[in-house]
Amino acid sequence: MGRPGYLTPPIFAVLAAIGYVYYTTIFVAVAGWLGLATAAGVANAAAFTALTAACLATYAAAASRDPGRVPPAYLPDVEDAEIPVHEVKRKGGDLRYCQKCGHYKPPRAHHCRVCKRCVLKMDHHCIWINNCVGHENYKIFLVFVLYAVIACFYSMILIVGSFLHSAPKAEQLGSDSSKTSIIICGILLCPLTLALSVLLAWHIYLILQNKTTIEYHEGVRAMWLAEKGGDLYHHPYDLGVYENLISVLGRRIFCWLCPVSTNTGNGLRFRAFYDIPLSTPPCDLQKIALHSQ
């Protein structure tokens, strides 16, 4: 496993897959079906090229962007009345402290064993970008997956269309290498499109709940423990669908698909649903045991 910021075999595999799909889609499928000298061929080639460029730009940004570092001097202020939630360890109730990094953990931060440091609002470590997905690059990662899903479906349509158009005319199928390229590309795209679509749907679900992947798994256990004790569990950072969306994508709707980080806050403190009712008693709001790592 390479260190974050370095090119690794999974990254080369992703770039090779993008290059192969792009070449086959434009210079085999579109060229053989619509032709690159026709208006339809040029339009589809230009659209798919722009989509591929967007995928590469967001992929590079997600891989190179720091997911969020915990400031060395960070210290939680338990007496700050504007912060109703302080995450504590399940055992002992102490404020979360990272022994490996030697500092306290902000809410929603976790230590990554691969990056060897704590990451703000860590979602997961992704080997395909050789980087953590966290507070500063989560939106960029999500936009990359969205563009990749659209590109996969677009490529599938062009490849299937080319195959159906050429299949009845065996003499016009072209060289064996072209047919082989289309078949291999189709075989590659089927599982890739399915996997990326599932990944996109999963993260859309998490955003609507204002959860990270880690918090989802922690929430399953917390919900089970709450039900076991006869209580109800509510994810503390679930602010409602709209507020959850803008907390990740930003308040400017027209910038939601832009490959820039427009999330709210600095990653050290987050709004909780406890912030809404000002008359809520302070008891039981100061500390919520979410995670021990």
Q: Which residues contact 259 (CB under 8 A, 6 or more apart)?
A: 54, 57, 58, 61, 140, 143, 144
> Cα 274 to the chain's mean position, in Å?
27
Strands 97-98 and 117-119: unpaired
Report how far residue 214's alpha carbon sits from residue 217's, in angstroms, rounded to the nearest whole number: 5
Low-confidence ranges of the chain (pLDDT < 70): 1-5, 77-94, 167-176, 274-293
DSSP H stretches of helix in 76-233: 138-166, 176-209, 213-228
Q: How far apart are the first and last CA of the chain?
A: 22
Q: Where are the beta strands (DSSP E) in the chain?
A: 86-88, 97-98, 103-104, 110-112, 117-119, 124-126, 131-133, 287-289
pTM: 0.85
Residue 146: beta bridge partners?
Answer: none
- Closest Cα to residue 207, out of 176, 231, 236, 243? 243
Beta carbons of 137 and 66 less than 8 angstroms apart: yes
pLDDT in tens, 213-252: 999 998 887 777 777 777 777 888 999 999 999 988 988 8
Predicted confidence at residue 125, as pLDDT, reads: 96
Report how far residue 19's alpha carbon sits from residue 155's, in angstroms, rounded to the nearest whole number: 12
Active site annotation includes 101 = no
Predicted confidence at residue 178, as pLDDT, reads: 79
The catalytic residue among 118, 126, 185, 255 is 126
Structure tokens at 204: 């859309």
Report how far residue 114's alpha carbon sits from residue 111's, in angstroms, rounded to the nearest whole number: 9
Predicted confidence at residue 220, as pLDDT, reads: 82
Report how far residue 85's alpha carbon sits from residue 291's, in angstroms, rounded to the nearest whole number: 13
3-class DSSP state for residue 193? helix
Crossing angle of the two packed helices 39-64 and 9-24, in degrees rounded to 10: 170
Beta carbons of 154 and 48 less than 8 angstroms apart: yes
Residue 287: beta bridge partners?
Answer: 86
Predicted confidence at residue 292, as pLDDT, reads: 40
DSSP code of 280?
S
Predicted confidence at residue 213, as pLDDT, reads: 95
Predicted confidence at residue 271, as pLDDT, reads: 83
